Structure 1
Amino acid sequence: MRTLISTGAVMTAAAFSLLTAPAAHATPPGDNGTVKIHDATTGEELRKNEPHVCSFYLDAFGFDGGQEVDWKIVEMPPTGTKGKVADNGSLTLDGEGHGRTDDRTLPDGHYKLIWNFDGEHGKAKHKVFWTECEDDGEPSGQPTGTPSQQPSGEPSEAPTDEPTSSASPSTA
């Protein structure tokens, strides 16, 4: 009978400690967040990566509150020199482990984000992405020439329902 009571007491103590453990320790500190590339027009609530952008920002969520992050963006082949730094910066995440950079732009090309942070246990987090912006600044499908302000001669004849006499002779 004594064994049953002491086993029950151990089980009760274990259950009690699980119920009273703080929720903040549900995941150990360190590599528990993610970072995404977002188009500058995308809201921060989207947690999907957007690997093809023009103007963009880096969006982090799910990290430990107040984590310090150092990031860099390096060029990647086929458009750049592997590992050449194109942009870099640092960021302090808020109390909920969220943060975002200002909007960024890079020349058209292939890049890799490398995300290092305090408490990192493994390799840095990373994302590979492409930037592509329209260089000419004009909407596609629009003529690129300047319209003439002068008429190009006499007006043409009014259309008729009569066929023209310049039809090709048929061959039989």
Structure 2
Amino acid sequence: MSTSSRPRPAGVRASAALLAALTVTGASLITAPAAVAAPGDPDVVIHKVGFPFDNQRNQPLVCDFYLTAFNFTPPQRVSWTIDRQPPVPETDPIATGEITLEADGSGHSTPVAPEDAVRLPNGRYVLTWRTVGGPVEEGRRNLTVECPLVAPNGGPPAGGGGLAMTQDFSPVAGAAAVGLAAVGGVTYLRLRRRRADGAA
């Protein structure tokens, strides 16, 4: 008895050919050398103190912070100024400085603060920067300084019960803290009652 195989539909043949082509293309991409990424635009970003210098992420909400420059062309330097955001009337800058660049075009400032203070007061500010000693590049960024509010002696605010309230302390977090304190108190009282009754 003879059997004959049915011819494959044209769609199946086309799909097999496409799959073979994709396999060859994928193999060639794996073996091809990786392309070198083009350098980014010159920029200055805001970093929380303790954040890595080489990370290019901008952090616009900070307490203590410094500035980091990337992708500049030495021997340029980066001059920067921090002012209060409008509608605050214009006055002298809150803080100014300059970033000296390394050979790779990057650099960073020391922690930013006014001359007569440890840090900037809580509020909204604008950073403006401009290159010195080469082609002019300039830019600006908004930032918000938001530090925990503590009493001058380092303890909780006057009248506080041991929790230093900050602007980040939400009502939900407060309720959770009160709930934990209540559960802990009830557990403690039950243990004391058991011991007084002679229970293990």
TM-score for the superposition, normalised by structure 1: 0.58
Q: Which amino acid aligns with 1:65?
A: P
135 and 81 in structure 1: CA distance in 2 versus 1, 3 angstrom threshold: farther
Mapped pair 1:64 → 2:64: no
Structure 2, unaligned runs of 5 or more: 1-37, 113-118, 164-188, 195-200
Partners of 1:114 and 1:82 lie apart in 2 by 14
Q: What residue is the counterpart of 1:21 in the other structure?
A: none
Q: What residue is the counterpart of 1:110 in the other structure?
A: 124
Q: CA deviation at 1:139?
A: 7.2
Q: What residue is the counterpart of 2:33 in the other structure?
A: none
Q: CA deviation at 1:120?
A: 4.1
Secondary structure (helix, strand or coil) at the match of 2:66 reads: strand
Q: Quote the RMSD (CA, aligned, Å).
A: 3.2
Spell out structure 1 runs of 4+ moving beyond 2 A: 80-84, 118-122, 137-140, 142-145
- Give the number of the structure whose residues are more often helix, by fraction: 2
Specify which of 44, 67, 91 is matched with residue 99 of structure 2. 91
Partners of 1:47 and 1:90 lie apart in 2 by 19
Structure with larger RCO (C-alpha < 8 A, sep 6+): 1
Partners of 1:139 and 1:96 lie apart in 2 by 45
TM-score for the superposition, normalised by structure 2: 0.51
- Give the number of the structure whose residues are more often strand, by fraction: 1
82 and 120 in structure 1: CA distance in 2 versus 1, 3 angstrom threshold: farther
Q: How many corresponding residue pairs? A: 118
Specify which of 162, 178, 189 is matched with residue 144 of structure 1. 162
Q: What's the % identity of the aligned pairs?
A: 31
Structure 1, unaligned runs of 5 or more: 1-25, 146-155, 161-172
Task: Check whether the contact 2:127–2:141 (CA below 8 A) recurs between aligned residues.
Answer: yes
Output one character per residue of 1:119-158: Cα deviation in whole Å (capped at 9) or x when no partner.
3446x21111000111214479x8239xxxxxxxxxx9x8
Output one character per residue of 1:41-76: Cα deviation in whole Å (capped at 9) or x when no partner.
211121110000000000001110221221110111
Partners of 1:56 and 1:40 lie apart in 2 by 5
Q: What residue is the counterpart of 2:49 in the other structure?
A: 40
Q: What residue is the counterpart of 1:170 in the other structure?
A: none
Q: What residue is the counterpart of 2:16 in the other structure?
A: none
129 and 159 in structure 1: CA distance in 2 versus 1, 3 angstrom threshold: same
